Amino acid sequence: MERFDDETFFPLSASFKGMLRKKDNTPFLAAQFGYAFGTSRNFGNYEGYDFDGEVLFSAGFGYRFPAGKKASGPMGVYYKHQFARVSYQTYDTFRYRTPLNYDLLSFRVGIML
């Protein structure tokens, strides 16, 4: 789940990590592709308005370091792009769609078992 000021996204994605060496200490490249379902407090209260999440992708790089015998600790920097859409219906029954784009830069730390 990713929560912003007024929007919330529930992503379903596939993640890929490519370790650049076959050691515990190694740099890596990462990618993520998927779809995120979205809700928004701004548009949920208005009749005829819908907010939808759409496709997402992320790319990043980082470093994996050992954290015990069977664990490691990856940390990295990632860029993520999330597509979304607001659609609304006018009184004359026309349906309009406005694309939205969210760009994020994040720092992640984790544990791999």
The domain in which residue 37 lies consists of: 2-109
Query: Measured between alpha carbons, how far is 47 from 73 in angstroms, rounded to an integer?
Result: 47
How many structural domains is the chain composed of? 1
pLDDT of residue 44: 64
> Dihedral through CA 76, CA 80, CA 4, CA 35, nearest 10?
-120
pLDDT in tens, 18-63: 999 988 889 999 999 999 999 988 876 677 788 999 999 999 999 9
Number of C-alpha atoms within 13 angstroms, CB side, residue 82? 24
Say what the pTM is.
0.80
